[in-house]
Structure 1
Amino acid sequence: MHLADKVALVTGAAQGIGRAFAQALLEKGCKVALVDLNVEVGKTCKDALDKQFDAQRTIFVPCDISNEEKLKDAFKKIVHHFGQLDILVNNAGVNNENNWELTIQTNLISLIRGTYLGLEYMKTENGGTGGAIVNIASLAGLMPAPHQPVYSASKHGVVGFTRSIAMASSVGKYGVRINAICPGFVNTPILQSIDKEENMGQYSAYKENIRDMMKFYGILDPQLIAEGLIKLLEDDKLNGEIMKITTNQGIHFHEYSPLPFHSKMQ
């Protein structure tokens, strides 16, 4: 996909990985819809980007993605504003073992809903021009995270959903490629949540164990995750792939055994 003049919607775009995504997409010539729950930080993000890029190339849409109607309205507003939707990055997420229902709702249910909304606008059979969806998971979606079992479950769900809906897109000829990124620990505000008892609940007693894991695995810069995003978007051959990003191996892909029936479904 050539990214110049494409319209991208990024959830959780005001800070952290989402902010790096917006920056990278704008540098490639995209128009970007910044969707975030935090109005103050969202406006600050747009103001900063407006100093680097044409202000007409971004729009900030405050939205609680866990609210179905508000998410639908956000998509509608963005498509009406830019006239199209080519790229969706389901990035918004939380780490809250105490309020685990919120974690499942935000990280998985809202991501699934966002994917379906994106497909409604992008599928060729609906009059769309196709596009690409990238879902942000985590290495915790590929391996156990004993101090974050619900967060891990939500990210495992993202991986399974992404691989399955990507195959559905291929079989149904939606014209939309769907992939996921599984980074390790990333230097973002969500990383600080491990210090908050209101987030970690019963697992707050194990925060030193998580810090030890961070020292072992290292902490990534959001800019590297953005490089992974651009790679997934620009390579039209990638669909249903799970990209891993780590400090020791950088950007690479998770390898699965071939599915014996996959070729029959192409």
Structure 2
Amino acid sequence: MGLAVATSLSARPDWSIHILDLNATSGKPIAASLHATFHQSDVTNYAQLSAIFKSVFQTHRRLDFVFANAGIAEHANFFNPVTNGKSKTNGNGISAGKDGKEAKNEEVSLEPPPEPKGLHPLIDINLKAVITTTTLAHFYMRLSPPSTTTSSPIDKSIIMTASCGGLYPAYASPIYTATKHAVVGFMRSIAPSYYAHDGIRVNAICPGTVKTNLLSNEEWRVFPEEYFTPVEKIARVVVMLVDGVDGGEGRGVVGGGSGREIGKGQRGDAEGRVGTLSGKAVEVSGERHYYREAVEFCDEPMRAVMGATNIESWGLESAK
């Protein structure tokens, strides 16, 4: 997905593209083909990541757009029973013998199981790296002057890659699901302040099944092939969010209902240039995309309670 977005943006003459990836073998030639700059980077290494951001800003004296797209899938079986000695724990947390009956006390090991496999990489890459990337993007975007490009004006924009698993439970991948729900929550928590105080629009995309290298061919075969989302559609949605205007393809979803056309107020300003697409969780399914609203408040007291968490009430405004 990152390559498709970089390819789309590289066609714009006023843009300088920087690509960050751990794999330099494939990353360098790809960047060269797009006339982009490649940086080998481990997104979980904050010192390394921050040095790259600083270098990019020193080169151009501005930063306009960041796509926080790094992510990995969950391959381990979270539900696999852990065997300890002669017995293992069944789904009810009761130690069971080979015949399924409760094991004798002398057969039971009370040694705790190991941590779930993949726990730390999933959290470090899918969530922590999104947070640190956003932190660095925010810092350098606030130091950037307004756009002076001769083509369409550019405002500041951060886009995070969540997932349809950030809106629904992905039953076989509970840790992955937790990280992607967290990305959506993080985006919704910071977007109002970033836009109101610094003019930075923050959005998240929630793609359906996009056939990338995150899963093996065998794993991909689990999903209905006719419902895959083209990577080209993901790129179009990201570019749309960068430009801040929906050309009319987007749909809104109310509650559990089906999609409906969104209002003009969400399609950008009257000139159709830099608009107000900010704080959106954009679900992408097939050739369609949908604007998913946050959960409704259960009652007015809860609305008031959560409203009291605004950063002004807590004195957390960004220092100018």
| Normalised-by-shorter TM-score class | 0.7 to 0.9
Q: Give the C-alpha shift of residue 169 in structure 1.
A: 1.5
Alignment of 1:123-202 (within 5 A): 123=142, 126=143, 129=146, 131-171=156-196, 173-192=197-216, 195=218
AA partner of residue 204 (structure 2): A
Give the aligned partner of residue 18 of structure 1. 2
Of 92-101 and 229-238, more deviation after overlay is shown by 92-101
AA partner of residue 33 (structure 1): H
Q: Does 1:219 align with 2:228?
A: yes
Q: Give the C-alpha shift of residue 254 in structure 1.
A: 0.9
Q: Which runs of 5+ in 2 are unaligned?
A: 77-116, 147-154, 245-274, 298-302, 313-320
Give the aligned partner of residue 203 of structure 1. none
Partner SS for 1:93: coil
Partner SS for 1:224: helix
Give the aligned partner of residue 94 of structure 1. 72
Partner SS for 2:214: helix
For the 8 Å contact 1:180–1:243, the answer to whether it is kept is yes
Structure (1 or 2) with the larger CA radius of gyration: 2
Give the aligned partner of residue 7 of structure 1. none
AA partner of residue 170 (structure 2): A
**CA distance, structure 1, for counterparts of residue 187 and residue 144 of structure 2:** 23
For the 8 Å contact 1:185–1:217, the answer to whether it is kept is no
TM-score (norm 2): 0.65
Give the aligned partner of residue 293 of structure 2. 255
**CA distance, structure 2, for counterparts of residue 31 and residue 185 of structure 1:** 30
AA partner of residue 140 (structure 1): G
Deviations 1:120-164 (A, max 9, x none): 0112xx565461100010000000011111111110010000011
Partner SS for 1:31: coil
Give the aligned partner of residue 234 of structure 1. 243
Give the aligned partner of residue 76 of structure 1. 54
Give the aligned partner of residue 3 of structure 1. none
Q: Give the C-alpha shift of residue 31 in structure 1.
A: 1.4
Of 75-84 and 85-94, more deviation after overlay is shown by 75-84
Partner SS for 2:43: coil
AA partner of residue 277 (structure 2): L
Q: Does 1:33 align with 2:18?
A: yes
Identity of paired residues, percent?
Answer: 30
Partner SS for 1:191: coil
Q: Cα distance 1:149–1:217, how it changes in 2: closer, same or farther (>3 A)? A: farther
Q: Give the C-alpha shift of residue 258 in structure 1.
A: 6.2
**CA distance, structure 1, for counterparts of residue 225 and residue 21 of structure 2:** 32
**CA distance, structure 1, for counterparts of residue 3 and residue 19 of structure 2:** 9
**CA distance, structure 1, for counterparts of residue 123 and residue 5 of structure 2:** 23
For the 8 Å contact 2:62–2:144, the answer to whether it is kept is no
Partner SS for 2:178: helix
Deviations 1:172-191 (A, max 9, x none): x1111100000001021113
Report 1 or 2 for greater relative contact order, CA contacts < 8 Å, sequence distance ≥ 6: 1
Q: Cα distance 1:177–1:258, how it changes in 2: closer, same or farther (>3 A)? A: farther
Q: Cα distance 1:112–1:76, how it changes in 2: closer, same or farther (>3 A)? A: same
RMSD of equivalent CA atoms: 2.4
Of 252-261 and 160-169, more deviation after overlay is shown by 252-261
Q: Give the C-alpha shift of residue 219 in structure 1.
A: 1.4
AA partner of residue 188 (structure 1): T
**CA distance, structure 2, for counterparts of residue 65 and residue 149 of structure 1:** 22
Give the aligned partner of residue 42 of structure 2. 64
Partner SS for 2:215: helix
For the 8 Å contact 1:121–1:128, the answer to whether it is kept is no
Q: Which runs of 5+ in 1 are unaligned?
A: 1-16, 50-54, 196-206
